[in-house]
Structure 1
Amino acid sequence: MNMPGMDMSGGKPGADARDPDAYSDGYKNSTLPGYEMADRISVAKVLVDELEFLTNKQGQGISWSGQITNGPDNDKLLLRSQGLKQSGERLDPESSVEAFWWHGQRPFWGTILGVRQDIGPGAHRWIAAGIEGLAPYWFDVQLTGYVGDDGRLAARLKASYDVLLTNRLILVPQLESNAYSKAAPERGLGGGLSNLELGLRMRYEIHRKIAPYVGFVWERSFGETADFRRLAGENPTERRFVAGLRIWW
């Protein structure tokens, strides 16, 4: 059955076809005032993914992990930081602040290019590059490589996954590992695989932007890094109970 204004053959619309712009007063999507293309709108976001109090046999402490982004979908300024400090121990040698230009390459992946500044004694500066995004089955992955001002190479892998037990109760397994091309005794870091950290956190989203959580973290140092920790009177294997808050705006 043929209807006026409809061409089911895929050809040009008929002369009496409905005008698709009839309700826009002649404006196109890209020129309608106040309605720019959605992927060109610059959006700022602050995410404090982990702000936690921790306790273990060695004492108590705090740790953090968060990031700030600003820009449209394809290109963003990305600032991120992480760190850990326990009573009786120096600041964790992986503590750092990073600044990147993030560029979207595919719907779920982007590349990063920027710099890293270590925090604490013996700090170094690094040129950094890497990728981050969502792997198949919704694993959140960050893989970053570094070239230091002392000639060392380094790599950091972080991965996590949100298991929705309910719409608000979420279990988050997480992995982090770091590796270095050669030792940096001033930071207590050895060459090769430095550490492996496995965490499991349970958060409850009171509001989508506010979620308290509790969890458990197991961390193991390897090789020369483990030797440096023993010399400093620290245990190369740590087990930490954590409680904290995840917020974003």
Structure 2
Amino acid sequence: MRIIKPCTYTVLSLALASVTQMTMAQDAHHSMPMSAQHESHSSHDSSHQVMQTRIESNKMEHTAEHAEHAEHAEHAEHAEHANASSIASRAASAQFPVDHKREHGGQIYQATEIDNRWLNNADGSGSLKTEIESRIGTDENKLFIKLHADKAESQDADYAAQVMYSRMISDFWDAQIGARYRVDEHQVMDKEQFDAAVGLHGLAPYFFETDAYLYLGTDNQVSFSLKTERDLLLTQKLILKPYLNLDVVLSDDSAYAQKTGLSSVWLGLETRYEINKKLMPFIDVAYSYEKGNQHTAWQAETGSEKQWWYGAGLRLKF
């Protein structure tokens, strides 16, 4: 008993001390001012809000990251489809090439020019000259049709018709080949003749429009003709045009043979006024040289002639 009692007293003392401490803690808490309690609750609430904000921020970051990944995936898929479409388009173009000739000079066009002029010489004799030129085709391939009529006053007319196929061989030149049909009413025989023709049509240096032809006919008739001209603009409507027409006979064994060499030359200056691009009246001054004909069984030899011509004319284009 003596041993148990001290132990019992000790246990009871410790239990009483514990109860006393708990009671004092509760009294201290209840005796704490309201502001301190409020601050304690506020800090607890604020820490809770901070935690909630961090959680929501993390959620938003995860959502944005997922959206960005989805957008990148969508762009990658779109790029893949675009590349596939481009490859398919190139393959289709290679298999079925698109024809762009109409956009690059492949279209067919037509143009016709009619030139009528009445010229008088120093003796008062007149001559009516008519030239018609029509062309149809593309920039690369064209067909030229040329008609010429020359009627001196109180004489029969001379005619010539020429058909030429024209093929572009450079930026400024076409090679031409065709045939010429001519009629000379002054001759008793061989009034109608055919010549093969080959030549060049284009723009010579310094912007001279040029037609150069070599003609091959029967009876060893070989001749060369050259026509060149250039427009010099005084105004947009008033234009000077110097021109040169010459014929060279290389050989001629026909009944009405011409003298070989430089056979004829026309050197002139035309001044025209363009009312519009379809109607153009003009005046013309020219100097001509004619070498003459050889002596044959059908004709007497003739001498050369030199004379001035002056007159007016009208040019139509459509």
Normalising by structure 1, we get a TM-score of 0.77
CA 135–235 in structure 1, closer or farther in 2 if over 3 Å, else same: closer
Aligned equivalents of 1:231, 1:242: Cα separation in 2: 31
Stretches of structure 1 that go unaligned for 5 or more consecutive residues are: 1-14, 20-25
- Aligned match of 1:116 in 155, 160, 180? 180
- Give the alignment of 1:138-177 within 5 angstroms: 138-177=207-246
Taking only the aligned residue pairs, the percentage that are identical comes to 24
- Tell me the CA shift for residue 156 of structure 1: 0.2
Matched with 1:55 is 120
Aligned equivalents of 2:226, 2:233: Cα separation in 1: 23
Greater per-residue helix proportion: 2
- Aligned match of 1:182 in 234, 247, 251? 251
Of the structure 1 ranges 184-193 and 105-114, higher mean CA displacement relative to structure 2 is found in: 184-193
Matched with 2:132 is 66
Matched with 1:133 is 202
CA 38–139 in structure 1, closer or farther in 2 if over 3 Å, else same: same
Stretches of structure 2 that go unaligned for 5 or more consecutive residues are: 1-81, 87-92, 186-190
**Secondary structure of 1:244's partner?**
strand
Task: Check the 8 A contact 2:212/2:227 in 1, yes or no.
Answer: yes
Aligned equivalents of 2:262, 2:209: Cα separation in 1: 22
Aligned equivalents of 1:106, 1:134: Cα separation in 2: 10
Task: Check the 8 A contact 1:29/1:37 in 2, yes or no.
Answer: no
- Tell me the CA shift for residue 236 of structure 1: 1.4
**Number of aligned pairs?**
218
**Secondary structure of 1:219's partner?**
strand
Task: Check the 8 A contact 2:290/2:305 in 1, yes or no.
Answer: yes
Aligned equivalents of 2:256, 2:292: Cα separation in 1: 15
Greater per-residue strand proportion: 1
Task: Check the 8 A contact 2:219/2:252 in 1, yes or no.
Answer: no
CA 186–77 in structure 1, closer or farther in 2 if over 3 Å, else same: same
Matched with 1:194 is 263
- Give the alignment of 1:30-41 within 5 angstroms: 30=99, 36-41=102-107
CA 84–223 in structure 1, closer or farther in 2 if over 3 Å, else same: closer
Q: Using CA pairs below 8 Å that are at least 6 residues apart, which structure has the higher relative contact order?
A: 1
- Aligned match of 1:107 in 158, 167, 171? 171
- Encode CA deviations 1:135-165: one digit per residue, 9 max, x unaligned: 1211111110011022211100111010101
Matched with 2:5 is none
- Tell me the CA shift for residue 55 of structure 1: 1.8
- Tell me the CA shift for residue 127 of structure 1: 0.5
Task: Check the 8 A contact 1:215/1:241 in 2, yes or no.
Answer: yes
**Secondary structure of 1:159's partner?**
strand
- Tell me the CA shift for residue 131 of structure 1: 0.5
Matched with 2:149 is 83
Aligned equivalents of 1:216, 1:98: Cα separation in 2: 26
- Aligned match of 1:240 in 290, 309, 316? 309
Task: Check the 8 A contact 1:193/1:223 in 2, yes or no.
Answer: no
Task: Check the 8 A contact 2:160/2:182 in 1, yes or no.
Answer: yes
- Tell me the CA shift for residue 64 of structure 1: 1.6
- Tell me the CA shift for residue 180 of structure 1: 1.6
- Tell me the CA shift for residue 197 of structure 1: 0.8
Task: Check the 8 A contact 2:175/2:201 in 1, yes or no.
Answer: yes
Task: Check the 8 A contact 2:247/2:263 in 1, yes or no.
Answer: yes
Normalising by structure 2, we get a TM-score of 0.61
**Secondary structure of 2:105's partner?**
helix
CA 241–225 in structure 1, closer or farther in 2 if over 3 Å, else same: farther
- Tell me the CA shift for residue 234 of structure 1: 9.0
**Secondary structure of 1:119's partner?**
strand
